[in-house]
């Protein structure tokens, strides 16, 4: 029978994990949207099965995803835009797509929203690497249209609070809209008038954790959590 250890625990087989007594902190790197959508649900699911575990969300970095997985500082990365080495394991969690968000009464709602009218207003880009351009710009270029990104931030939630008093437009994943409504901000969503591919959100981990039963349980819990509508 194979034995291997983690701090404070010794496991005897691939499936041998005492969840009730599991005393372990899990470090998950993700963005504020995932935390808003699934953080509370994930914590409830974890504490119901493993009440002594700790869930630690870590802000997204800027290009060191491989390194933090290899050195064990991060258990899982959850993102749609990770650039990882070939040895890193990846599993799909859910798909979403982008919509536009603007203040109620924004002039974009005064007429049909075309690519030209969409690009006419200043926009917000949410990027952990500070990038202004992405798939939306590629799609607009096919219509010979270019938008102007006036604000770049790393947080969708901070971006939302820039909308009520401005004519800024924020492209945002559609599955966050219920959470936006709970904030009771005077915002309104709309369909972005260019075709965009769906966004696949994935969890990624180092293969050393494949046979770690506690880590496998965490991955399975996240997969189950991602299948629940927020």
Q: How many CB atoms lie within 10 A of CB 65?
A: 21
**Closest-CA residue to 25 (of 215, 202, 213, 203):** 215
pTM of the model: 0.83
Q: pLDDT tens-digit profile of 75-111?
A: 999 988 777 888 999 999 999 999 999 999 999 999 9
Could you give all domains of the chain from N- to C-terminal order, each with its CATH number?
Answer: 4-95+199-226 (3.40.190.10), 98-190 (3.40.190.10)
Cα 16–19–24 angle (5° rounding)?
105
Q: pLDDT tens-digit profile of 49-76?
A: 999 999 999 887 666 788 889 888 899 9
Indicate whether 10 pLDDT > 80.
Answer: no
pLDDT for res 5: 38
Q: pLDDT tens-digit profile of 114-164?
A: 999 999 999 999 988 888 999 999 999 999 999 999 999 988 988 999 999
Q: Sorting pLDDT into bands at 50, 70 and 90, what band is 229?
A: low
């Amino acid at each position: 029978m194979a034995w291997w250890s983690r701090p404070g625990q010794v496991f005897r087989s691939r499936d041998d994990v005492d969840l009730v007594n599991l005393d372990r902190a899990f470090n998950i790197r993700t963005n504020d949207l995932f935390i808003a959508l699934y953080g509370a649900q994930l914590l409830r699911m974890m504490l119901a099965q493993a009440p002594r575990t700790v869930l630690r969300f870590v802000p997204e970095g800027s290009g060191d995803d491989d390194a933090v997985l290899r050195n064990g500082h991060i258990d899982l990365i959850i993102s749609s835009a990770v650039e990882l080495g070939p040895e890193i394991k990846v599993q799909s969690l859910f798909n979403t797509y982008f919509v536009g968000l603007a203040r109620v009464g924004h002039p974009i709602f005064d007429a049909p929203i075309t690519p030209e009218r969409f690009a006419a207003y200043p926009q917000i880009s949410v990027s952990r690497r500070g990038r202004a351009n992405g798939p939306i710009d590629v799609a607009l270029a096919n219509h010979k249209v270019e938008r102007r990104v006036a604000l770049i931030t790393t947080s969708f939630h901070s971006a939302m609070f820039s909308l009520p008093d401005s004519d800024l437009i924020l492209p945002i994943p559609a599955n966050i809209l219920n959470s936006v409504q709970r904030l009771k901000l005077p915002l309104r969503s709309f369909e972005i008038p260019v075709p965009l591919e769906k966004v696949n959100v994935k969890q990624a981990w180092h293969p050393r954790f494949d046979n770690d039963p506690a880590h496998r349980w965490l991955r399975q819990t996240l997969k189950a959590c991602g299948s629940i509508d927020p």
